[in-house]
A and B are shown apart, each in its own frame.
Chain A
Amino acid sequence: MLEDLSHHILDIAENGVNAGAESIGVTFDDDGEFIRLTVRDNGRGMSEATARAVVDPFYTTRTERRVGLGLPFLKQLSELCGGEFLLSSAPGKGTTVSASFSKQCVDTPPPGDIPSTLLTLLVGHGHISWKYVHRVGKREFLLDSDELKDALGGGNPFTDPALAVGVKEYIAENIGELYM
């Protein structure tokens, strides 16, 4: 099973990659009452009919685009956790998926290992512009993969294992500070 929110973020972001997105924005917003995850991509998007169908776990046609259990899992979980699930998409424009979770609800999973999720996305898909915002109350941390690449001398710095491990620690430290 996808055990925590960071696994869901990775899963939904991979959908954006498969939709041919050039840029993907991920937001983790903890306002004290709810946690809201948002993944926005500028990939090929879906028709209204497809967008309705992808949240059905028994929709298995893979000819049009890659569809799996990821979205139904996330929808079910957020609705179980007193939140709401929203999906908006337009062909040629991209897709936005958003799911919220009540922090009061015992079924709301922990955030999990977000630095590992982000590192996996950066290493696996370094050609994509990633923007990750982690917000706790009024404090936030922004990770911009383009900015990171520029700062580290261009190219795809995440393919260097020493740097990749360093980037993970950088993310962990900065997210950790938001909670202090």
Chain B
Amino acid sequence: MTEEKKKIRSLDDLRKIKEKTGDLTSARSEVDKVKVIIGMGTCGIAAGAREIMNAVLKELEVRNLHNVAVETTGCIGMCQNEPLLDVIRPGEPRITYCAVTPPDVSRIVSEHIVNGRIVQDKLYGRAD
């Protein structure tokens, strides 16, 4: 366990993580991936979008999920509903979640990204 707690200080430390996970990511093409898009305009940032990004990456890491592409976008004019987070599973409509908090992220990842069930109480809408 002490091995895992070792601090990441150098590029070499990062290379070691890469060696462990490298093969998992390269095998998948972009079209097979679930897309997660986080609004990162001034409004999103002020509402906590960066913390949502942190939570998404942490959750994906903990669950060892490699088939997810995380992206950001600017303000889309729904500032009062930020932070906004969209999920697009391959071949499915784009689902927009609003007023997302870090605890919501683990539900969205486990329910929607992994199991394909939309988290209804955080739903803003869907675009087909």
Binding site for B on A (CB under 8 A): 1-2, 7, 10-11, 14, 18, 66, 68-70, 73, 113, 116-117, 119-120, 123-125, 147-148, 151-153, 155, 157, 159-170, 173-174, 177
A163–B75 CA distance with the chains assembled, in angstroms: 27
Query: Which residues of chain A come closer than 8 Å to B58, judged between CB atoms?
Result: 161, 165
Query: Which residues of chain A come closer than 8 Å to B117, judged between CB atoms?
Result: none
Give the interface segment out of B8-16, B81-89, B91-99.
B8-16
B57 touches A165 (CB 8 A): yes
Q: Which of B7, B18, B53 contacts A123 (CB 8 A)?
A: B53
| Max chain A C-beta neighbours (<10 A), residue from B13, B17, B72 | B17
Query: Which residues of chain A come closer than 8 Å to B112, judged between CB atoms?
Result: none
Q: A7-B46, A116-B53, A151-B14 are in contact. Are A124 and B61 (CB under 8 A)?
A: no
- Give the nearest-CB partner of A161 in chain B: B60
- Give the nearest-CB partner of A167 in chain B: B14
CB distance from B14 to the nearest CB of A (A): 5
Query: Which residues of chain B come closer than 8 Å to A119, judged between CB atoms?
Result: 53-54, 57
Binding site for A on B (CB under 8 A): 7-11, 13-15, 17-18, 20-22, 25-26, 38, 40-43, 45-46, 50-51, 53-54, 57-58, 60-61, 64-66, 68-72, 74-75
Q: A14-B41, A170-B8 are in contact. Are A162 and B74 (CB under 8 A)?
A: no
A169–B26 CA distance with the chains assembled, in angstroms: 23
A152 touches B57 (CB 8 A): no
A123 touches B70 (CB 8 A): yes
7 interchain pairs (CB within 8 A)?
A2-B42, A14-B41, A119-B57, A120-B50, A124-B71, A159-B25, A164-B61
A120 touches B18 (CB 8 A): no
